[in-house]
């Protein structure tokens, strides 16, 4: 039961596993010796041989030695842990003190900088107001220019959508009308030339449409 409890305590401590394995091995050997001796006593109730007794004493001495060795190692690790915790505590105290001093220096510097920049901020605000007034004038001028440009673009769009496309529609319409009226009298070359004319006019209409979109 003690070994089972110790095994659970050391389950999350891999460095201690070899020592526990040795304790478990030596304890198992001692228990095996004990059972062998008691079984022999049941079969033959005679005195136990001195060599068996000495062997049992040696087994128990080995168990005690391993336990003492493991205890010494645990005490050493505990002392080392305490030493590390003390170092961490001292380091933390140093960091806190240093951080506090640094924070005070920064705070004082900020206060001094604030006092020095109050007048500068007032001047900067006056300059910003002046620049904003100039910017408003530029915005009004630019708005007027854009309105003029939009008016010109509107006029161009009207010309592109009506005046430039109207002659092309007439060319396409009349060429197609001729092709329909003279359907049986045209040779292959003439029909091909008329197709070129219609195709060119349609492509010109598409170019005007693209210019209008742009």
pLDDT category of residue 103 using cuts at 50, 70 and 90? confident
CA atoms 167, 170, 174, 180: torsion sign: positive
Cα separation, 64 vs 188, in Å, equals 119
Distance of CA 143 to the CA centre of its chain: 45
Counting beta carbons within 10 angstroms of the beta carbon of residue 175, is it exposed (0 to 12), middle (13 to 18) or buried (19 or more)?
Answer: middle
Tens-digit pLDDT profile for residues 88-101:
888 888 888 888 88
Instruction: Give the chain's mean pLDDT.
Output: 83
Q: Please give the structure tokens belonging to residue 9.
A: 């305590």
pLDDT category of residue 200 using cuts at 50, 70 and 90? very high
Tens-digit pLDDT profile for residues 117-171:
777 778 888 888 888 888 888 898 899 999 988 888 888 777 767 777 888 888 8
Cα separation, 39 vs 44, in Å, equals 9
Q: What is the pLDDT of residue 48?
A: 64
CB neighbour list of residue 40: distance below 8 Å, 6 or more residues apart = 48
Q: What is the pLDDT of residue 112?
A: 83
Q: Please give the structure tokens belonging to residue 195.
A: 């197709």
CB neighbour list of residue 100: distance below 8 Å, 6 or more residues apart = none
8 A C-beta contact, residue 10 and residue 17: yes
């Amino acid at each position: 039961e003690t070994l089972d409890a110790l095994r659970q305590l050391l389950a999350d401590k891999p460095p201690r596993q070899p020592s526990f394995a040795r304790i478990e091995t030596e304890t198992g050997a001692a228990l095996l010796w004990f059972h062998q001796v008691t079984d022999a006593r049941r079969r033959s109730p005679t005195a136990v041989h001195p060599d068996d007794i000495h062997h049992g004493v040696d087994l128990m001495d080995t168990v005690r030695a391993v336990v003492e060795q493991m205890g010494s190692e645990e005490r050493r690790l505990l002392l080392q842990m305490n030493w590390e915790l003390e170092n961490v505590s001292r380091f933390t105290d140093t960091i806190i003190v240093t951080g506090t001093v640094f924070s005070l220096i920064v705070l004082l510097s900020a206060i001094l900088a604030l006092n020095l920049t109050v007048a500068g901020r007032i001047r900067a605000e006056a300059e910003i107001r002046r620049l904003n007034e100039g910017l408003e004038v530029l915005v009004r001028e630019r708005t007027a220019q854009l309105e003029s440009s939009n008016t010109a673009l509107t006029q161009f769009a009207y010309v592109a959508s009506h005046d430039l496309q109207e002659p092309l529609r007439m060319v396409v319409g009349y060429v197609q009308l001729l092709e329909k009226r003279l359907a049986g009298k045209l040779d292959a070359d003439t029909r091909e030339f008329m197709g070129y004319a219609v195709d060119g006019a349609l492509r010109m209409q598409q170019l005007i449409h693209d210019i209008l979109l742009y």
